[in-house]
Amino acid sequence: MRLVLVGPPGSGKGTQAKRLIQALGLTYVGTGDILRESVRQKTPVGREAEPLLKRGLLVPDVMVNDMVADLFRGPKRPERFVLDGYPRTEAQAVSFDALMRQEFLKLDAVINLAIDDEEVVSRISFRRVCSSPTCGAPYHLVAQPPKVPGVCDLCGSPLICREDDLEETVRRRLVEFHKSTDALLDHYARQGLVRDISALASSESIFQNILKSLPPEPGPRLS
Ligand code: AMP
């Protein structure tokens, strides 16, 4: 199975990606993770990307296209995968289509996790993380609150709102998301690949709806 996951921050995309990986044995490819690692390692790509990541802006198409092409042309080429955060623009999708053709691979579906912007902002406003760099435990003020308000259960450090989760950053990321995603989804709709899944249900039922929407995987060849 070869999937692309599309959804704004706060749509539960990361959670669904993890479930798909476990259930279907897929390789996770997340361009956000690769970029954050490049920033940590201070590579040339990381240095260029850092200010854009901080402001919630997209990095240039050519940068992520090259990063993904290196991965698919390298010795660790993923065969069955879920892509999280890529392609994010129509130009990236065109480049990825060409890469897939060159590598004789075919996408099976593009899962679109649909959710209203205001719902995203409200969901993210409940997120907190432990401020200790060695702990960083995540909390949710409603679904998973700390025992003592504002204090980490595990190490006692104060809880903070991640810079990524500040309302201003979230709204900026949503604007960026819509600017590029409509054309991206149109691109894949023309290929008959888009599966629209509401992200408003429970994590389990979203997951079941995704599974139901997928084409059957070809079984092992007998003969
Ligand atoms: P994510 O973890 O997928 O939300 O990505 C975090 C940040 O990495 C984004 O806000 C962008 O700055 C950058 N990024 C990740 N993937 C892409 C992409 N496909 N195109 C452009 N920028 C990206």
Q: Dihedrals φ, ψ of 18, to 5°?
A: -60, -45
Q: Among this protein's residues, is 162 annotated catalytic?
A: yes
**Are the C-beta atoms of residues 2 and 108 closer than 8 Å to each other?**
yes
Atom of ligand 1 nearest to the CA of 31: 16
Quick one: which atom of ligand 1 is closest to the CA of 56? 10
19 annotated active-site: no
Q: Measuring from each residue's beta carbon to the nearest atom of ligand 1, which residues come in under 6 Å?
A: 9, 31-32, 35, 52-53, 56-59, 64, 85-86, 88, 92, 173
Give 215 Cα–ligand 1 centroid separation in angstroms: 28
In which region does residue 25 sit, left (phi positive, over 0), alpha (psi from -120 to 50) or beta (all else)? left
The mean pLDDT values, 10 residues at a time, for the chain of 223 residues are 90 90 94 90 92 86 94 92 93 96 94 92 88 91 91 96 84 86 94 94 93 81 55
Which overall architecture, per CATH, does domain 2-26+80-213 show?
3-Layer(aba) Sandwich (3.40)
The residue contributing the CA closest to ligand 1 atom 5 is 32
Alpha helices by DSSP H, listed for the chain, are: 13-24, 31-40, 44-54, 61-73, 90-102, 117-124, 167-190, 203-213
